[in-house]
Chains A and B, each alone.
Chain A
Amino acid sequence: MYFLDDYSGIFVRYDLKRERGEAKAVAVEDEALQQVIQCVVDGDTDNIGEVVRKALETKDPMEVINALVKGMNEVSRLWDEGVYYLPQAILSSDAMLEGIEICEEKMGKAMVKKGVIITHTAEGDIHDLGQKIVNALLRANGYEVIDLGKDVPVDEVVAAVKQYKPAMLTGTALMTTTMTAFERISKRLTREGISLPFVCGGGAVSEEYVTSFDLGIWGKDASQAPLMAADAVSGKDWRQLREKWNG
């Protein structure tokens, strides 16, 4: 086999030219809380339990939760700036959620969530990785997620919306022949007088298709989900979300 020495003019490694930001530790005075923050920033799921329990020996659970959230905010910054990859964000989210669970046990009640979001993967579609990422990001941002799972029949989605009255519904699909379930869900909800933002995304799902039916908002990327949820919880309706995020 013959190999070239010089590949210039054939391709350019643009990724090598990108600037990298730095992971800065958020500094707080208390050492125990600092360790909690650091564990979240590092996505250290092995040690988060220990440092959170240690912090709870002297701190109020809400103080510890605030430190966990502070750590996660730093992770969001690092991800936005392109320093962190998705795996770092997911691991940090795992660490933060584990920490919150311990704090909630200590409080004896669950912390107040920002709102309820239902997620599902379309009927006939078992490719739910995108949905799992959406779940993790929504939970990390303080939302209660009702995860209906994959290959969910239209009837079940509609029933869940009636039962949980979420601020937003999401649907994930890989194939164009499974995404047609989204339109059926939209029609059923609309017919029954239910109006809420229904964010659809994944694989071959297109903006053109999703915005062709009422309620539909196209989600380009899983990372948009918490921002869209914030809009929905703040009272923006599906038309306002569509105007902001699509087109």
Chain B
Amino acid sequence: MAKYTSMAYQSADEMVFGTAKYPVKYGRDFEVGGGLVYPELVPHPRPGSEETKKTLVREYEKMVNDVLERCVQLGFPGIQIELEHVYQMTRNPDWGGEIAAATKRLMDDYYQKYGLKSAIRATIADYRKPDEENMRDSDALKNILATFEASAAAGADNLSIESMGGKEITDYAIVRQDIKGVLFGIGVLGSRDVEFLWKKIVEIANKHGVTPGGDTDCSQANVAMFMAGGYLDKSVPHTFAAICRAIAAARTLVAYEQGAKGPTKDCGYEDPIIKAIAGIPISMEGKTCACAHSDLLGNLVAAVCDLWSNEAVEYHDMFGGTTAAVFTEILGYDVALMNTAVKMGKAKDLRDMMINSDKYRDTHGFILSPDNAYEIGKAIVSNSESYYSRARAAAIKAAELMRGDSKLLLSDFEKEVLESTYKALLSLPDKEEDFIAECIPVYQKQVKGFKPSNYGL
């Protein structure tokens, strides 16, 4: 499969929220990246509601109805709802299918009655265990694929996943600040797993005439980012986590090389780099996902988004209504402001305000600022000989950007980590085969259950 060797945009400045080089249409009159931003609401069921299919389907019906009703109440033009599977929905394909069907019925109803544009993203849970089973031929994989089929057949418009390949290595490496292990886990193994998985997902999507959406390195790069945390945390250095993110971009890109069309998954913070390379629309989450987790780039990540998401909100009552309705309202107004800027010809001004709000707040915002994301994208497409070479190039570029900008302030400890990580990256072999040959014996010894055959090695 061909790898990207050029950028979709001539410059970072071309990129702005709401518009993607290659917009995607699906669902009920729903277009992503065609000039306007839409909200993407992700409702999460209450604990206990997953006990039976009946109770879980009912929970989703209520949540979805609350979302659609609030959209109409406040005049929002359209919305995407993500059905992010709790494991019961993927382990039992008919559960996932039935919830997608119920969501579709409600969306069709609101479309017919009010003309509310809408779409369903079904994100299937990847519950394969890389260190315990054969990832390429396991019951979990069969169930995952069956659930993609069931969801697509029942009414999901967009199929997505947060794939786990390489996580067994990356978990080991992140908590040891081992950049070689992260490159191996995310850059090499993760990329190979995405390639394997997305061939199958795209086939299923095409068979059912639905859109293959996207993947995210949530299980690895987000782990690093969330462990890095805020200014008070001491789990993972922020500079190290930012470099993990750059590596993740090279991995997540593989889904689009296999035929995914986007929009990307909301928790893929690497998405601005993906958009710069592939030109597909992206979904992002920031300040309005504080209901699910905190980050240090709440405004900046909206700068080039096409869908604006809340990550996940558990269903409960608030003074302003249920959480699903309340977060729909917050997202809807965020999006209304962005679209007003588009209509007033001020989109780039608002984009630049978002960027300036966070670019130097932390390393993640810094490397995902569209100007820097674009440079990392260029490093990826200019080093496309192998999954490894481009992941390493992305990591080196991210480190160089952080080292080279005096406005990015770092503690002495962070500077030390950045320097040692950069040095380690430069010392690694140039060729993928040499790198893999070096890594396999090391990680087979150190990571219990690691099986190279899971990745075709």
Contacts and interface: CB of A to CB of B under 8 A. Distances in A.
Given A127-B219, A132-B171, A87 B370 contact: no
B409 A87 contact: no
A10 B175 contact: no
A82 interface: yes
Interface string B212-249: 00000001000100010001101111001000000000
Nearest to B84: A175
Interface in B82-137: 86-88, 91, 127-129, 132
A160 B411 CA distance: 45
A88 B86 CA distance: 34
A31 B97 CA distance: 67
A3 B359 contact: yes
Contacts, number: 114
Given A20-B413, A86-B175, A129-B171, A79 B234 contact: yes
B356 interface: yes
11 contacts: A3-B356, A7-B356, A15-B232, A86-B235, A87-B236, A91-B177, A126-B127, A132-B175, A151-B127, A151-B129, A176-B46
Nearest to B370: A1
Interface residues of B, number: 53
A16 B411 contact: yes
Interface of A: 1-4, 7, 10-11, 13-16, 18, 20, 79, 82, 84-88, 90-91, 94, 124-129, 132-133, 136, 149-151, 175-180, 204, 209
B404 interface: no
Chain A to chain B: the 9 pairs with minimum beta-carbon distance, closest first = A87-B177, A15-B231, A124-B87, A177-B86, A176-B47, A86-B235, A14-B231, A177-B50, A2-B352
A35 to B, nearest CB: 22
B413 A85 contact: yes
A209 B235 CA distance: 25
A94 B447 CA distance: 12
Contacts of A14: 231-232
Contact of A150 (B47, B129, B357): B129
Contacts of A84: 234
B302 to A, nearest CB: 15
Contacts of A132: 171-172, 175
Nearest to B12: A1
A127 B411 CA distance: 31
A176 B315 CA distance: 11
B176 interface: yes
Contacts of B45: 177
Nearest to B303: A1
B175 A87 contact: yes
Contacts of B223: 129
B310 to A, nearest CB: 14
Interface string B127-155: 11100100000000000000000000000
